[in-house]
C-alpha cells in the first residue's frame, strides 16, 4: 500500500507532520479530517524514497527487531523514572537509523505541543500496527504506559519468534525444491543441447517427452540473460500476487484443501487472536475495542469476519463465548469453554494469555508433524520429476548404443 507524507494544522494552528499508509491521497485527507486536522500537504513518499537512497542510506529500513527494541527501551526508561520527553530525547540521540530518529524526534516535538505518543505513532502505521497503537493509547489513558509498552514489546517479540520458527521450518523443504529445479535446469541448459546433434546424426525416433524437453531446452538456451530476467520477473509476480487480496484468498483456499496445513493455519490464527486479546485487555482496553484490534491481527479473512460478527453480538448483550461457539471449525469447543470460564470469573485476560501459550505449543507440535510427512513426500515427488527428466534423456542414448551394437 502506498505511503504518504502529510502536514496538517489543528484548530489552534499547530502544524502536525507524519506519514500514513493509504490507497490514495483522498483517504489520507479523510483520515486527517476525522482527527479534526486540516490537510496542508499530502504527497507520496514512493518517489522520494527511491531517489534519496544516497542521502538516507541502507540503514533507513526499519526492521521488526528494531521496533521491538525501541518499544522495549521506551518501557524500561519509563519504568526507571524518566519522563516520556527525556526518554524520547535519549533514544533519538542514540539511534543510528534515520527513519527511527525522525519518528522519535517527531514524537518528542508533538508531545511538547500536547499530542499523545500514540497519535504520533499512528502517523507511522507502516511501522507500528494498529494493535500496538491501541495498546499504547490504552496505557496512556490508564496512566500505566511503561507496563503497557512492556506488554507490547513481549507481544511483538512472540509474534516475531512464531513467524521466525515457521519460516525456519520451511527452509529444508525449500532447499529440496531449489536443488531439484537446479538439477533439472542444468540437464536442460547444459547437458541436453550437447546431445541433440548426436541424436540427429543417429537418425532415431525420439520419444514424445524427449522432443518436448528438447524444445524447452532450446528456449532456455537461447539467451541466459533473458532467462535471468524472466526468472526475476516471475519471482516478483509470485511475491506481488501473494500480497494481493485475490492471492491471499487463493492461498487460504489451497491451505484448506490439505487437512494438516489447514489445522496448522487454524492454530496459528488462534494463537494470534488469543494473544492479542490477552495483551489488549491487560492494557486496560474494553472488550469491544480489543476485538476490533484483534480482528486485524489474526491475518485470515474467515477469522476476521467471525471476530467482527462476535463484536456486533457483544454490542447486543451476548457473551463472546456464545458467539464463537457457533464456529467450531475455527474455534474449538475447548477454547470457547475456557473463554466462558474467564467471562464468569472475570479473568478473561489471563484466560486468553494461557490459551495463547497452550496453542503456541500446539503450533510447534503440528509444524513438526507436518514436516515429518512433507519431507519424504517432497523427496519422492522431486525424485520422480528429476528421474523422469533424466530418463527422457537416457532413452535416446540407450537407443543409440543399441543401434551401434
Residue with cell 519518528: 103
Residue with cell 506488554: 151
139: its cell numbers: 496505557
Please name which of 142, 92, 85 lies closest in space to residue 115, comparing C-alpha atoms: 85
Report the share of the chain in percent with pLDDT over 90. Answer: 1
- Of 248 and 100, the one with more pLDDT: 100
**Coil vs helix vs strand at 40:** strand
Q: What span, in angstroms and rounded, lies between the C-alpha atoms of 317 and 247?
A: 37
Q: Is 404's pLDDT higher than 70?
A: no
Give the H or E element holding residue 297.
helix 287-298
Q: What is the mean pLDDT of residues 373-386?
A: 85
pLDDT band at 403 (very low <50, low <70, confident <90, very high): low
Q: In what order do the strands lie in the sheet with 3-9?
A: 15-21, 3-9, 38-44
Q: What is the mean pLDDT of residues 377-390?
A: 85
Q: What is the pLDDT of residues 215-238, one digit of tens each?
A: 888 888 878 788 888 889 988 888
CB 260 within 8 A of CB 373: yes
- Per-residue CA distances from 343 to 192, 228, 320, 347 (Å): 68, 58, 8, 7
Q: Is 47's pLDDT higher than 50?
A: no
Q: What is the pLDDT of residues 79-109, one digit of tens each?
A: 888 888 888 888 888 888 888 888 888 888 8
Other beta carbons within 10 angstroms of residue 322's beta carbon come to: 15
Q: Is 249's pLDDT higher than 70?
A: yes
Q: What is the pLDDT of residues 250-279, one digit of tens each?
A: 777 777 777 888 888 888 889 888 988 888
- Of 198 and 82, the one with more pLDDT: 82
Residue 184: what pLDDT? 84
Beta bridge partners of 8: 16, 39
Q: Is 48's pLDDT higher than 70?
A: no
Residue 350: Cβ-neighbour burial (10 angstroms; 0-12, 13-18, 19+): middle
Q: Is 49's pLDDT higher than 50?
A: no
pLDDT band at 1 (very low <50, low <70, confident <90, very high): low
Residue 233: what pLDDT? 92
Amino acid at each position: 500500500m502506498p505511503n504518504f507524507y502529510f502536514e496538517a494544522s489543528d484548530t489552534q494552528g499547530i502544524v502536525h507532520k507524519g506519514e500514513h499508509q493509504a490507497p490514495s491521497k483522498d483517504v489520507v485527507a479523510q483520515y486527517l479530517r476525522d482527527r479534526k486536522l486540516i490537510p496542508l500537504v499530502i504527497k507520496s513518499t514512493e518517489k522520494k524514497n527511491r531517489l534519496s537512497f544516497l542521502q538516507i542510506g541502507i540503514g533507513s529500513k526499519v526492521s521488526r527487531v528494531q521496533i521491538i527494541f525501541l518499544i522495549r527501551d521506551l518501557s524500561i526508561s519509563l519504568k526507571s523514572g524518566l519522563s516520556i520527553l527525556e526518554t524520547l530525547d535519549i533514544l533519538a540521540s542514540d539511534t543510528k537509523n534515520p527513519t527511527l530518529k525522525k519518528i522519535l524526534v517527531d514524537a518528542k516535538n508533538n508531545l511538547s505541543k500536547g499530542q499523545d505518543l500514540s497519535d504520533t505513532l499512528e502517523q507511522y502505521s507502516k511501522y507500528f500496527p494498529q494493535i500496538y497503537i491501541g495498546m499504547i493509547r490504552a496505557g496512556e489513558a490508564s496512566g500505566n504506559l511503561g507496563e503497557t509498552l512492556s506488554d507490547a514489546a513481549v507481544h511483538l517479540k512472540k509474534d516475531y519468534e512464531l513467524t521466525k520458527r515457521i519460516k525456519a521450518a520451511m527452509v529444508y523443504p525449500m532447499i529440496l525444491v531449489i536443488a531439484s529445479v537446479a538439477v533439472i535446469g542444468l540437464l536442460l541448459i547444459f547437458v541436453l543441447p550437447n546431445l541433440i546433434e548426436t541424436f540427429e546424426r543417429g537418425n532415431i525416433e525420439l520419444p514424445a517427452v524427449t522432443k518436448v524437453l528438447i524444445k524447452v531446452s532450446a528456449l532456455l538456451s537461447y539467451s541466459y540473460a533473458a532467462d535471468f530476467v524472466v526468472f526475476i520477473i516471475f519471482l516478483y509476480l509470485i511475491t506481488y500476487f501473494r500480497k494481493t487480496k485475490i492471492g491471499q484468498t487463493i492461498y487460504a483456499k489451497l491451505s484448506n484443501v490439505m487437512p494438516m496445513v489447514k489445522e496448522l493455519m487454524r492454530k496459528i490464527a488462534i494463537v494470534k487472536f488469543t494473544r492479542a486479546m490477552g495483551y489488549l485487555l491487560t492494557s486496560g482496553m474494553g472488550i469491544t475495542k480489543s476485538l476490533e484490534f484483534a480482528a486485524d491481527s489474526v491475518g485470515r479473512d474467515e477469522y476476521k469476519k467471525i471476530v467482527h460478527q462476535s463484536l456486533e453480538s457483544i454490542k447486543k448483550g451476548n457473551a463472546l463465548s456464545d458467539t464463537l461457539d457457533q464456529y467450531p471449525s475455527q474455534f474449538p469447543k475447548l477454547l470457547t469453554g475456557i473463554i466462558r470460564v474467564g467471562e464468569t470469573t472475570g479473568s478473561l485476560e489471563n484466560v486468553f494469555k494461557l490459551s495463547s501459550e497452550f496453542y503456541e505449543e500446539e503450533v510447534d507440535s503440528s509444524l513438526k508433524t507436518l514436516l515429518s510427512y512433507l519431507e519424504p513426500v517432497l523427496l519422492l515427488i522431486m525424485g520422480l520429476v528429476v528421474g523422469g527428466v533424466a530418463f527422457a534423456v537416457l532413452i535416446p542414448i540407450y537407443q543409440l548404443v543399441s543401434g551401434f551394437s
